[in-house]
Amino acid sequence: MITTIFFVLLSIENWSIHELSLTNILKGGLAGIATLAITYPADIVRLKLVNEFAKPSDQIRFVNYQDTLKYLYNLGGLRAIYQGFLLSSLGTFIYRGIYFGGYDTMKHLTGQRDREISLQYKYMSALVSTIAGLCASFPIENIRRRMSHSMFSSEPKMFFVNYQDCLHQVLTNEGAKSLFKVNFITIYRVCLGAPLVLVLYDELKTLSRIYT
């Protein structure tokens, strides 16, 4: 269904700038969710292994991805493997929507073809869309990470009943600023590479059109 919506939106032309912006964000968000659906089990397994290796050696139950995935599946089927997926999807939709959609929209504002837009403008557009996407999605990502650690942690202080309880405890005990904790570190790390991915992909796409 997501793929169908994505290609329908991709085929429509002659949007106004507001419609184009929203459509670009929607396409980027749907592409992000589709990718997340494929990679999410690996992320859950990785997190479970990290928490497992934090235990004393005599309490470790599994040491590789296959055993961990089998354990989770036997524990609750696909529901256990995809626990937390809805909240992750929301964060991914916001981040990838602004990341891809914002970049495409800012390029469109120039009124030029891709090959005519300077590398400097493309990079700054990619940088702005990356930072905007991170800032918009980071509170959700923060809650998701806390919940993920809570799911697999044996520490009582790490336990949350659900996402609403997690958000309530964070706001009550730490304040709203804690939702953006280490945000600037994340921005610095991601912004070194994420804008380059967009620009390099764009340049390769332009080159392929020239030589084909």
CA distance 186 to 28: 21
CA distance 84 to 144: 7
Task: Give residue 105's identity as a one-letter amino acid code.
Answer: T
- The gap between the terminal CA atoms of the chain, to the nearest Å, is 32
pTM score of the predicted model: 0.79
CA distance 195 to 138: 17
Based on DSSP, count helices (H) and strands (E) in the chain, helices before strands. Answer: 9, 0
CA-closest candidate to residue 203, choices 122, 88, 101: 122
Q: pLDDT tens digits, the chain, 212 residues: what are they?
A: 444 444 444 444 545 666 767 888 888 999 999 999 999 998 888 888 877 777 777 777 777 888 888 888 888 888 888 888 888 999 999 999 999 999 988 888 887 887 788 889 999 999 999 989 988 888 888 888 887 776 666 555 556 777 788 888 888 888 888 787 765 777 777 778 888 888 888 888 877 776 65
CA distance 25 to 20: 8
Determine the distance from the C-alpha atom of residue 185 to the mean position of all C-alpha atoms in its chain, rounded to a whole number: 16
How many Cα neighbours within 13 Å face the side chain of 88? 20
Query: Are 187 and 137 contacting, i.e. CB atoms less than 8 angstroms apart?
Result: no
